[in-house]
């Protein structure tokens, strides 16, 4: 794990792997999570000649909390990190809670971000015509209802979950995710994937709940940029069997991200969709000009 001091004095921790002169693939992790290495994703990036970069968002792991942050704030943090890596341009992928952050980079860093992809990314909370909670598993419904009620109810809810999550193992993952897992996602939890999810879940709460709390509040607030500002190639990937981020979110984004290429997969869920990472990266690179 490496660290950089941002212009405002905060510390941002990150992982980086691949040739120093290669085009960076900035990966935005889900919620809750952090910069945790997952070999299949890293290997895919390297096979495509990319340099993978993943930072823990503020409040996760060793990244300084940033109370009140908005989704848009990730753009400045990403730009500072890329400055430190001496990288002029990049592509970005956001999974789940990382989806909005990838879209923020696409909208707010158009001179540097050459293209973006979201994998089961959430839509804005105030999205017109979207019932945001409909189709989510009961754990997510309870979590985001607490977030809608304010900081104190959310703190109480997340604190009640954090102790158990801090000890979760690969054998516990299915039980820990409960109603959030469709059958296809349960089947995807084999071998190293279950180990990775357990590790990333433990790491998500290793420094407390600040990162998780600020993610949830940022999703429900104004993201800080209009989707109509996006002018770079964007691909939306969504599984119809997703109970963490229901397919309606992907459908909504498909109609509201300008020029988005849409990949709606009827037989995939939230976790199983990651098995398509090679295709996602290949598709992203086929649409960019750097």
Whether the per-residue pLDDT at 76 is higher than 90: the answer is yes
Question: From CA 265, how far away is CA 237, in angstroms rounded?
Answer: 8
144 within 8 A of 246, measured Cβ to Cβ: no
96 within 8 A of 250, measured Cβ to Cβ: no
pLDDT in tens, 142-171: 999 999 999 999 999 999 999 999 999 999
pLDDT in tens, 240-255: 999 999 999 999 999 9
74 within 8 A of 104, measured Cβ to Cβ: yes
CA neighbor of 70 nearest in space, from 39, 35, 34, 107: 107
Distances in whole angstroms, Cα of residue 100 to Cα of each of 175, 184, 230: 27, 24, 12
Query: How many other C-beta atoms can be found within 10 angstroms of the C-beta atom of residue 19?
Result: 10
Whether the per-residue pLDDT at 281 is higher than 90: the answer is yes
pLDDT in tens, 117-137: 999 999 999 999 999 999 999
94 within 8 A of 42, measured Cβ to Cβ: no
Q: Where residue 290 falls among pLDDT bands split at 50, 70, 90?
A: confident
pLDDT in tens, 173-230: 999 999 999 999 999 998 799 999 999 999 999 999 999 999 999 999 999 999 999 9
pLDDT at 286: 97
Supply the pTM of this predicted model. 0.97
pLDDT at 191: 78
């Amino acid at each position: 794990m490496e660290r950089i001091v941002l212009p405002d004095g905060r510390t941002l921790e990150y992982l980086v792997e691949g040739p120093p002169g290669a085009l960076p693939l900035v990966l935005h992790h889900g919620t809750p999570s952090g910069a945790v290495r997952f070999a299949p994703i890293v290997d895919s990036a390297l096979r495509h000649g990319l340099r993978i970069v993943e930072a823990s968002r503020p409040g996760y792991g060793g990244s300084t909390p940033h109370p009140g942050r908005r989704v848009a704030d990730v753009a400045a943090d990403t730009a500072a990190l890329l400055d430190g890596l001496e990288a002029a341009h990049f592509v970005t992928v956001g999974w789940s809670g990382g989806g909005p952050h990838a879209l923020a980079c696409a909208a707010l860093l158009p001179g540097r971000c050459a293209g973006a992809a979201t994998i089961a990314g959430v839509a804005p909370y105030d999205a017109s015509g979207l019932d945001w909670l409909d189709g989510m598993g009961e754990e997510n419904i309870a979590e985001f209802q607490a977030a809608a009620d304010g900081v104190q109810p959310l703190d109480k809810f997340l604190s009640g979950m954090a102790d158990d999550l801090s000890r979760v193992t690969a054998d516990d993952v299915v039980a820990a995710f409960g109603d959030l897992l469709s059958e296809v996602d349960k089947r995807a939890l084999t071998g190293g994937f279950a180990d990775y999810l357990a590790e990333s879940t433990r790491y998500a709460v290793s420094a407390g709940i600040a990162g998780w709390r600020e993610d949830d509040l940022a999703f429900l607030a104004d993201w800080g940029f209009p989707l109509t500002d996006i002018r770079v190639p964007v691909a939306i990937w969504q599984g119809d069997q997703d109970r963490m981020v229901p397919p309606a979110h992907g459908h909504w984004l498909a109609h509201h991200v300008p020029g988005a290429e849409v990949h709606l997969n009827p037989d995939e869920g939230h976790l199983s969709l990651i098995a398509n990472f090679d295709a996602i990266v290949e598709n992203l690179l086929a649409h960019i000009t750097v």
